[in-house]
Chains A and B, each alone.
Chain A
Amino acid sequence: MAIDKIWVLAEAGDGGPTPITSELLTEARGIASTVEAVTWGPDTTSLAAGLGEFGATTVYDVGDLAGSLPGAPVAAAIAALIEGGNAPDALLIPATYDGRDVAGRLSVRLDRPVLTNVTGLGTDGGLTTQHPVFGGSLIVTARFTGEGPGIYVIRAKSFVAEPSGGPPANVVAAPAPNTGATGAAKVVERHQEERTGPKLDEAAVVVSGGRGLGSAENYALIEELAKLLNGAAGASRAIVDAGWVPYSHQVGQTGKTVKPTVYLACGISGATQHLVGMKGSKNIVAVNKDQDAPIFSVADLGIVGDALKVLPALIEALKSLG
């Protein structure tokens, strides 16, 4: 089946499309002759310029959701477009909090499965997908067997965003039909967490800590080092599960995917769950007491030692460099 038209679920970020939205639009442009976007929110008109910049010709606007979580209304709006005869061959959805909600609900509405955790796309008589398994040591290639459109949930940083310099996308209203009980979850208040440094998934330097830190208090070393390097502080799932740091710091299969210039893994053994989220980093430095820790198999520089000794010394050395 030829892939002529792709829709990208577009999310608004600071002053334009989110980075993953631009990545998906760029990739879609390389595969299909027509790339269109679906979005929601109070101000799609200004977002349309950014979407056009990355190659979307049209943006279907579900509109302001009046506080409803996006999953149900956006999926209902997309299903209504498709049932009305306007169907893409594939729908690319960012692996974000809201993106996965939309994908799950749309899957039921269209009675089609979802291919998730996609990190690469190919064309071989239709779209094929790549998925890392077992910490990225194996790559599985998959495809849909049924009728389109296929629903694909794609991880951040799978593709490199490049603007096409296109004109603003044409905004077409696509309001959600009544979603009944399914749309009843409402946001009553939003809270922005204070963040001093760069975002975890956009930082050039990421310093992450794991169980080897010994206790929650020692995570302060990770934060201090991250700050000194103008980077972001990450964490392994083990210490998020243990309640040392919030989930928003988690790097890995069930957390964020990062691809910084350098990733410093401190006291992290390198479970497959973690490796899949950071293996794409340009340079990897690992500090761990256990010389057989799997993290060393991906490290460019590995220090077999106690993170609680190496980190304070590293912090001092960086401070003395000014």
Chain B
Amino acid sequence: MAMNVVVCVKQIPDPAAPGALDPTTHTLERNGKLILDDSDAYGVEMALQLAPTDAGNEVILVSMAPNNETSGLRTALAMGATRAILVSDPALAGSDALGTAKVLAAAIKRAEPDLVIAATESTDGYTGTLPVQVAELLGLPSVTFAKAVAVDGRSVKVERQTESGYDDVESPLPTVVTVTAGVVEPRYPSFKGIMAAKSKPVDTLTVADLGIDASQVGAAGAGQEITDVSEAEARGGGEIVVDEGDGAQSIVAFLEQIKVI
């Protein structure tokens, strides 16, 4: 039976570029080009493996951005996702995780998912609560920190990371599953995939299209504020030596000095 798998993806500023906080709003600056969050490539790959699109399944990306940015979505479409839903609205700027979850949940609902996949947390914001908030808003079960995922009929079987090992967890579809990095090896988009991605549909919706009141989202709906940003106490002033074959001895001496050995 064909499945609709929704993958929540985030487009983020390139983590290799130095990050900055907007001096007035204290939110993360997102002016530059956005790329697909590396963490989300695992979710896209997982979806493509669980629901091969050449067998009639759909892998649908759902994302949100204040400024119609799609470059990160094109990367995931080039990997093989079938289409994307992008909620883009100036009112979204400054949204907290709950506001974001409300928007994503409304968009995901439109895709009538059998399975929703997300990263355990984004690389830039890393609140780590958003997928579960989406699940609660949709009235769905969730299994977080999946290190292996299989679909068996109308249920999903997950190996879930725990403090001391892992649990085998079963949940009826639809379910929200969050995957840890390294869970699968994300494919590189092929040239054919990159070309095909250019013509794949990206539905752009506003907050109003989703029937959400703009006061619920963005900075207006955020229930938290940043009151101060300060430099952390600096470490350092340590001894840096170039290894001339005596590096190991320097470490031994240091460990002896701090009485570890």
Contact = CB atoms under 8 A, between A and B. Distances in A.
Interface of A: 18, 69, 71-72, 75, 95-97, 100-101, 103-105, 107-109, 111-117, 128, 132-134, 136-146, 153, 180-193, 195, 204-205, 229, 237, 240-243, 246-248, 253-254, 261-262, 264, 271-273, 279, 282-285, 287, 291, 296-306, 309-311, 313-314, 316-318, 321
B57 interface: no
B259 to A, nearest CB: 9
B136 A247 contact: no
Given A108-B137, A132-B232, A303 B227 contact: no
A135 to B, nearest CB: 9
Nearest to B228: A141
Q: Among A103, A193, A247, which residue has the most Cβ atoms of chain B within 10 A?
A: A247
Contacts of A314: 247-248, 251-252
Contact of B123 (A95, A144, A273, A282): A273
Contact of A229 (B123, B247, B260): B260
B88 interface: no
Interface in B103-148: 120-121, 123, 126-133, 135-137, 139-145, 147
Nearest to A111: B98
Contacts of B231: 137-139
Given A237-B181, A305-B243, A113 B224 contact: yes
A254 B126 contact: yes
A188 B136 contact: no
A108 B101 contact: yes
A138 B229 contact: yes
Contacts of B143: 69, 185
13 contacts: A69-B143, A71-B132, A95-B128, A109-B136, A112-B98, A117-B126, A141-B229, A142-B227, A143-B227, A303-B243, A303-B251, A309-B243, A317-B249
Given A142-B226, A243-B182, A287-B247, A300 B139 contact: no
Which 4 pairs of residues, A with B, have the shortest CB-CB distance? A305-B243, A104-B132, A313-B248, A104-B129
B236 A297 contact: yes
B238 A299 contact: yes
B-side interface mostly: mixed
Interface string B243-261: 1010111111011001011
Given A117-B126, A273-B123, A299-B240, 11 more contacts: A69-B169, A97-B162, A100-B129, A107-B98, A116-B128, A144-B224, A190-B165, A287-B251, A291-B242, A302-B241, A310-B243
A75 B228 CA distance: 31
Nearest to B105: A108
A318 B254 CA distance: 12
A261 B147 contact: no
Interface residues of B, number: 82
Contacts of A279: 235
Contact of B141 (A111, A142, A185, A246): A185
B21 interface: yes
Given A113-B96, A185-B175, A193 B164 contact: yes
A142 to B, nearest CB: 5
Contacts of B229: 138-141
B170 interface: yes
A103 B127 CA distance: 11
B194 interface: no
Nearest to A193: B165
B54 interface: no
A141 B160 CA distance: 33
Contact of B261 (A75, A95, A115, A229): A229
B188 interface: no
Contact of B238 (A95, A185, A195, A284): A284
Interface string B215-230: 0000000111111111
Contacts of B19: 133-134, 272
Contacts of A318: 252, 261
Contacts of B170: 185-186, 188
A247 B231 CA distance: 30
A189 B169 CA distance: 7
A296 B131 CA distance: 36
